[in-house]
Amino acid sequence: MGAHREVPAGTGSGTGSGSDPEADEARHILVRNIVARGGLTDPAWRAAFEEVERHLFVPYYYVHGIGGYERLWGEDPDPVRRRRWLRGVYGDEALATRMRDGELISSSSQPSLMALMLEALEVRDGHTVLEIGTGPGYNAALLSHRLGDAAVTSVDLDPEITESARSHLAAAGYRPAVVTGDGARGCPQRAPYDRIIATCTLPSVPPAWPEQCTPGALILAPVATGLVLLEVRATAHGPRAEGHFLHTPAYFVPLRGASPLPEPVARPGGVPRRAIGDELFRFLLTLTAGRLDPHEALSLWEREGRPQRERYGVTVADGRQWAWLDDPEGPYTWPLGEGP
């Protein structure tokens, strides 16, 4: 397990690493709350969340305010606003960390969701991990704490994001490989990987990812409004990645540069309001948008007993990929990728 590194004096976001009892206490409370809800059962991940200081990675973030977004930051001369910033940093919420022309392009994910995803990866000492979507660098720091810097590669398309993340990581004492590039292409120069984790929503799983994996590797990625966990197996025709969705909903910033899936119709005529208001039906609509008529989706959903997320899955094999219900070769399958 990667050891915690000392942070150089004078680095950080104004609170000072290890020098702010209020930040330390807030972090410990956050961890206790995640544990109380059943998260962080692995002691190694609990130690990572206890020791990696999130405030070093979000020196500022944006919240909804009157007439738009309000910026909260750790160097604010107003002590009341600084406390608001710190409470938000160690609240169990996603934080908007970078805006451009009024559009959110980067965020720090909800800590409890990050914990769930990291534990679902089932990493072991010696594993190498590729992270898609560096964001402010907090998730890469948690991975580095668990596995060591040399085992972690993080990719983001935006050079401003990767430069900022490197600075945050260095301030916290971590130096994983942070690469500026198209996450859909993975990072072949540092392959192969035992685990791939994406922190951005995808229309489909990029075929380059299984190709850069070791046999038995796991890929965890947000697709539609869920998290799909794929196991990679070697076959005579190349790698086959297949697996089910986890139980939890998940909403992330889209992978930049990817072609999004068509949006489902907000209120298809003839579809009852109760169905549209059901989060699991909305998941099915999003997963099959442009592939399955909403009325057919409703019929399937009701006939199959309003299936939970865990009954759905994704397969990537033989140059194609598809989503499915219950059985990858069964009657309910829908192609993923560009075009109908």
β-sheet with 333-335: strand ranges across? 177-180, 152-156, 129-132, 193-198, 213-223, 226-235, 238-249, 312-317, 320-325, 333-335
- Candidate list 106, 108, 109, 112, residue with the active-site label: 109
Nearest C-alpha neighbor of 123 from the set 229, 195, 58? 195
Q: Is 55 exposed, middle or buried (0-12, 13-18, 19+ CB in 10 A)?
A: buried
What is the rounded CA–CA span in Å between residue 202 and residue 83? 35
What is the rounded CA–CA span in Å between residue 224 and residue 292? 14
Nearest C-alpha neighbor of 85 from the set 112, 109, 106, 56? 56
What is the rounded CA–CA span in Å between residue 49 and residue 115? 8
Helices (H), the chain: 21-36, 43-51, 79-89, 111-120, 138-147, 159-172, 208-211, 273-276, 279-287, 294-303
Any long-range contacts for 63-67 (C-beta under 8 Å, 24+ apart)?
Answer: 63/88, 63/96
109: annotated active-site residue: yes
Nearest C-alpha neighbor of 283 from the set 317, 256, 258, 248? 248
Question: Could you tell me how many residues make up the chain?
Answer: 340
Neighbour count for residue 293 (Cβ, 10 Å): 11
Catalytic residues: 109
